[in-house]
């Protein structure tokens, strides 16, 4: 069936549908090359996601409930998709090792695919949400505009840098094919003006660096545990990146 979606918009619509709760109708068959091309625009979609909690942080409310609303809005904008990846990754990564390394890997991949949430997943999500909420209490309005795009760039880098953990799913479709250099260019174009005009540009730049480093470390740890990447690993790495970006804005050294 021929596509009725304008060709220049298809990568953006694909990226939006994959990373947010917006269900974007796509006409025609979507191939692996189109999915790979869409990864170049992940940071742009991330900026759109970041606008949601940033708007909530502008509300004339006390800091604590305002942070709750911002976190809820952030979670709803993504449909908790990446939180699910964080929960599944916590459950699988910390499952006890077996005598056979290959059997351990297969067991962890099976846990990763299990829709049920275990104790490590529940504890991991609770701690992550508490940590994000605590940071949003102090975060300036523009903090999500830095955190969300970098987190989506981290997902692209994760898919580019690691092999697929299994022969199906997002990892199999995009591992080694994600457009990391194009995504890096988009990220720089988006964030350079934000960092320069930020109230504290040095802290803003530190937030971006911390996010990229935390996402890279999280992705590497999980890829070693599972023998490669999956969609859940990308989500978990993105959550780690967002948390690190926000924590840079905590009032370190204050009483």
Q: Which residues span the domain enclosing 151?
A: 39-247
Take residue 217 and report the two structure tokens written for it: 């470390």
CA separation for the pair 169, 172 (Å, rounded) = 6
Q: Is the pLDDT of residue 252 over 90?
A: no
SS3 198: coil
Assess if residue 81 is contained within a domain: yes
3-state secondary structure 96-151: CCCCCHHHHHHHHHHHHHCCCCCHHHHHHHHHHHHHHHHHHHHCCCCHHHHHHHHH
CB 229 within 8 Å of CB 162: yes
Residue 197 CB neighbours (<10 A): 10
* Residue 188 forms part of a structural domain: yes
Judge whether residue 152 has pLDDT over 90: yes
Q: pLDDT tens for residues 20-37?
A: 888 777 666 666 788 889
Task: Report the pLDDT value the prediction gives residue 24, as an integer from 0 to 100.
Answer: 73
Q: Is 58 exposed, middle or buried (0-12, 13-18, 19+ CB in 10 A)?
A: exposed
pLDDT attached to residue 3: 45
- The pLDDT of 187-192, averaged and rounded, is 96
- State how many domains the chain has: 1
pLDDT for the residue 171: 76
In a domain, residue 31? The reply is: no
Distance between CA atoms of residues 142 and 194, nearest Å: 8
pLDDT at 176: 85
What pLDDT shows up at residue 110?
92
- pLDDT tens-digit profile of 82-135? 999 999 999 999 988 888 888 999 999 999 988 889 999 999 999 999 999 999
In the numeric block, which tokens belong to residue 193?
A: 């003006």
The predicted-structure confidence for 211-223, as pLDDT tens digits, reads as follows 999 999 999 999 9
Per the model's pLDDT, the better-predicted residue between 228 and 3 turns out to be 228
Asked whether residue 20 is domain-assigned, the answer is no
Q: Regarding predicted confidence, which is higher, 198 or 252?
A: 198
Q: Which two tokens stand for residue 96?
A: 């006890």
30 lies in some domain: no
Q: Is residue 119 within 8 Å of 96, Cβ to Cβ?
A: no
Q: Is residue 123 part of a domain?
A: yes
Cβ proximity of 153 and 43 under 8 Å: yes
Query: CA separation (Å) from 194 to 25, 144, 155, 205?
Result: 31, 11, 21, 10
Q: Does 12 map to a domain?
A: no
Give the C-alpha separation, 65 to 29, whole Å: 44
Segment 236-241 shows an average pLDDT of 97
Closest by Cα among 154, 161, 142, 157 to 224: 161
Residues 159, 234: contact at Cβ < 8 Å?
yes
CB distance 177 to 32 below 8 Å: yes
25 CB contacts (<8 Å, ≥6 apart)? none
Exposed, middle or buried, 70 (CB in 10 Å: 0-12/13-18/19+)? buried
Structural domain includes residue 110: yes
Residue 26 confidence (pLDDT): 66
pLDDT of residue 145: 97
């Amino acid at each position: 069936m021929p596509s009725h979606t304008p060709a220049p918009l298809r990568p953006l619509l694909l990226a939006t549908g994959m990373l947010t709760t917006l269900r974007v109708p796509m006409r025609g068959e979507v191939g692996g090359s189109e999915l790979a091309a869409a990864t170049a625009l992940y940071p742009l979609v991330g900026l759109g996601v970041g606008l949601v909690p940033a708007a909530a942080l502008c509300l004339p409310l006390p800091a604590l409930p305002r942070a709750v609303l911002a976190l809820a809005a952030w979670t709803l904008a993504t449909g908790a998709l990446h939180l699910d990846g964080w929960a599944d990754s916590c459950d699988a990564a910390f499952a006890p090792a077996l005598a056979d390394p290959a059997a351990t890997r297969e067991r962890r991949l099976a846990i990763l695919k299990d829709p049920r949430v275990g104790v490590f997943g529940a504890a991991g999500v609770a701690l992550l949400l508490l940590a994000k909420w605590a940071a949003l209490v102090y975060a300036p309005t523009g903090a999500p505009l830095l955190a969300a795009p970098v987190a989506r760039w981290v997902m692209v880098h994760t898919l580019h840098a690691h092999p697929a953990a299994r022969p199906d799913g997002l990892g199999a479709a995009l591992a080694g094919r994600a457009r990391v250099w194009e995504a890096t260019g988009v990220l720089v174009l988006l964030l350079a003006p934000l960092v320069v005009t930020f109230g504290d540009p040095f802290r803003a730049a530190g937030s971006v660096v911390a996010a990229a480093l935390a996402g890279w470390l999280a992705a590497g740890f999980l890829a070693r545990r599972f023998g490669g990447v999956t969609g859940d690993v990308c989500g978990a790495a993105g959550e780690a990146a967002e948390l690190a970006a926000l924590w840079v804005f905590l009032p370190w050294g204050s009483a």
